[in-house]
Chains A and B, each alone.
Chain A
Amino acid sequence: MAETAVSCEGVSVRFTTERGTVTALDRIDLTIPRGSFLTLLGPSGCGKSTLLRVMADLIAPSGGRVAVFGGTPSSARLKREIGFVFQDPALLPWRTVLDNVTLPLEVGGGKALPGARTPQQLLELVGLNGWETAYPHELSGGMRQRVAIARALVSGPRLLLMDEPFGALDEITRDRLNEELLQVWSSTGTTIVFVTHSIYEAAFLGQQVLLLAARPGRVRELVPVTLPMPRHLGQRETPEFTALAGHLRRVLETC
């Protein structure tokens, strides 16, 4: 178990609304190795965000078992082993960039795991040194998301969950942040689970792509990505990448 970051056994999530009960996730089985980069890809409504939220202890599963580093998601959350990046940067507009990054050190006991980088080092890592005293409204969308990534890393989490973090950004910014994220991943050794609805993003970032089918959300296929590391944007023009993206697209069409 030592090398497993997250394991899901028959995880189901059902929501009950006025229109009846919806099965968002149906018996998901999944093992994510420590230090790996997994992307979750699927049509909208396939429950990829729900699966991420189950790992983060934001949603309790209706059935099945989830283990994060061998314990429950809630114990992992309390130990500060989980970092989360939302689609909306969710920065606090009344705090400066630096104060946003240090928020995790101020609340909930404010623990950081051993080996965590300082806020200053993280701002440097995401290319925002010099912006410490700026307020969120002074930043561009891409910079705000960089702050959110630095904030998620400040407690030194061993699992970084990202829910379409670059979904609202323009393509050029998104490409650049994709490359930067891979650098962050290789320099921190954090396990990353990354939700996206972009085929190219999923194929470019992940070591594996988990394809989910919708209604009910279930595992369709776990696709290994054989592109060599470290990756660069030029690889997206290789025949290997095109073949992979084509495969993902064909599977998605049947989801």
Chain B
Amino acid sequence: MADAFAADAEGEARFRQRRRYLAWRRRLLPIVAVVALLYAWSESIELFDIKPFIAPSPQAVAAVLYDRFGILMANLLPTAIESILGFALGNLAAVVVATVFVWRKTVEEAMFPVAVMINSIPVVAKAPILVLLLGNGMEPKIAVAAIICFFPTLVNMTRGLRDVRPEQLELMRILSARQSEVFLRIRVPNALPYLFSALKIAASTAVIGAIVGEWIGSTQGIGALILQATFNFDSPLLYATIVVGSVFSALFFGVISLVERRMLRWHTAHKE
């Protein structure tokens, strides 16, 4: 097969240059777009003479981000802990339940409609119930984040564990493989791409869950700071808080994507 490739230094250099160009373009274009949007925002604040308590200028938000960095971080910490713990618990529970569903179809038939019903309760309605049940600490926020992660992962993981190619199962039968071997060597790896699709959704929704949880009776956290800033008409602080929350959410998503890329190197979707 190696002889199929001839040495062509000039062609290879052109190929590499083109790929470098495409890589830089992919990185730079979003930055250009963001800068343009910030500029348009800043100009329209001046142009339409919008009052700071209605909407701040990007400069004012940047100033708050810099001046009150300590307060912002102190409030990010509980939100981060809640969303990460909720993410871990919710997804772990979903994976366990999906395993049980695939192991015993009867359990799925009985419990799946219940899961759908719980999932159909809006998050803002679940939060007060959980505050009543779990008190005023971090627990109800973790629970909201966990519940919000649970459903997409349950659905995806169940599908991933079940949607195995029939030939692969026949192969395992010819090899006289035990059920546990079929599960660990076929079903689990087959489910990983499905699981990571769900985890990437969950990384963002877990943060939303924690913030919504904090709206119901909390004195600290990104959610609490958002409410406080809104009631004080402190729009620069409100925007800065949202920026901090979004950046954390994006980082969370990025970490999951990185783990996915490392673990699913075999997956065809990751072919160059």
Using a CB–CB cutoff of 8 Å, the interface residues on chain A facing chain B are: 56-58, 77-78, 80, 82-84, 86, 88, 90, 92-95, 103-104, 106-109, 130, 135-137
Q: Which residues of B contact A136 (CB under 8 A)?
A: 266
Task: Known A88-B167, A108-B181; judge A94-B176 contact (CB<8 A).
Answer: no
Interface of A: prevailing SS: loop
Whether B267 and A93, one on each chain, are in contact in the complex, defined by CB atoms closer than 8 angstroms, is yes
Known: A92-B168, A92-B186. 10 other contacts (CB 8 A): A84-B170, A86-B167, A88-B165, A90-B171, A94-B266, A94-B267, A103-B175, A107-B177, A108-B177, A108-B178
Whether B167 and A107, one on each chain, are in contact in the complex, defined by CB atoms closer than 8 angstroms, is no
Contact with A78, one of B165, B167, B176 (Cβ below 8 angstroms):
B176
Whether B174 and A107, one on each chain, are in contact in the complex, defined by CB atoms closer than 8 angstroms, is no
Q: Which residues of B contact A80 (CB under 8 A)?
A: 176
* Sample of 12 A–B contacts (CB below 8 Å): A56-B174, A57-B173, A77-B174, A86-B171, A90-B170, A92-B189, A93-B266, A93-B267, A94-B267, A107-B176, A130-B1, A137-B268
Number of B positions contacting A (CB below 8 A): 24
Interface of B: prevailing SS: helix
Query: How many pairs, one residue from A and one from B, have CB atoms within 8 Å of each other in the complex?
Result: 64
Q: Which residues of A contact B171 (CB under 8 A)?
A: 84, 86, 90
Q: Which residues of B contact A58 (CB under 8 A)?
A: 170, 173-174
Contact with A92, one of B177, B185, B264, B267 (Cβ below 8 angstroms):
B185
Contact with A94, one of B1, B175, B177, B189 (Cβ below 8 angstroms):
B189
Whether B165 and A82, one on each chain, are in contact in the complex, defined by CB atoms closer than 8 angstroms, is no
Using a CB–CB cutoff of 8 Å, the interface residues on chain B facing chain A are: 1, 165, 167-168, 170-178, 181, 185-186, 189, 192, 264-268, 271
Contact with A77, one of B1, B165, B176, B186 (Cβ below 8 angstroms):
B176
A253 to chain B, nearest CB (A): 31
Whether A108 and B185, one on each chain, are in contact in the complex, defined by CB atoms closer than 8 angstroms, is no
Q: Which residues of B contact A106 (CB under 8 A)?
A: 185
| A129-B174 Cα distance, complex, nearest whole Å | 26
Whether B267 and A107, one on each chain, are in contact in the complex, defined by CB atoms closer than 8 angstroms, is no
Query: Which 8 pairs between the two chains have the least Cβ-Cβ distance?
Result: A108-B176, A90-B167, A107-B177, A94-B189, A107-B181, A94-B266, A108-B177, A108-B175
Q: Which residues of A contact B176 (CB under 8 A)?
A: 77-78, 80, 107-109
| A180-B175 Cα distance, complex, nearest whole Å | 25
